[in-house]
Amino acid sequence: MGSPDMTSVSVSFEVRRQLNSIRALGNYKSVDDLIQYLLKEHRLHQIKRDSDDLQASLQSLNDVDVNSLIAKLELSPFQE
């Protein structure tokens, strides 16, 4: 983003300039609208990734022999 000797003020101006450039390209009314959009997209991506992981876990359960599992649980020392 800049050189190591940039101050926090110059970094803030650079970040602000870049955000305004992105805002203008995306036809957003404000930088706040742009940030809200980016946060929403990030959250949706996380939800999709978690959903894909859950689907993969559920798919792995299809290979479980339920009758065998029930039989093993009935042999459990913790049953009443």
pTM value is 0.57
Q: What is the pLDDT of residue 6?
A: 62
Per-residue pLDDT of the chain (80 residues; tens, 9 = 90+): 556 666 777 778 888 899 899 999 988 998 889 999 999 999 999 999 999 999 998 888 887 887 787 778 877 666 55
CB neighbour burial string for 11-50, b if at least 16 within 10 angstroms, e if fewer: eeeeeeeebeeebeeeebeeeeebeeeeeeeeeeeeeeee
Q: What is the pLDDT of residue 5?
A: 67
Please report, for the chain, the start and end positions of each structural domain, with discontinuous segments joined by +. 8-74
Q: What is the pLDDT of residue 3?
A: 63
Helix, strand or coil, per DSSP, at residue 30: coil
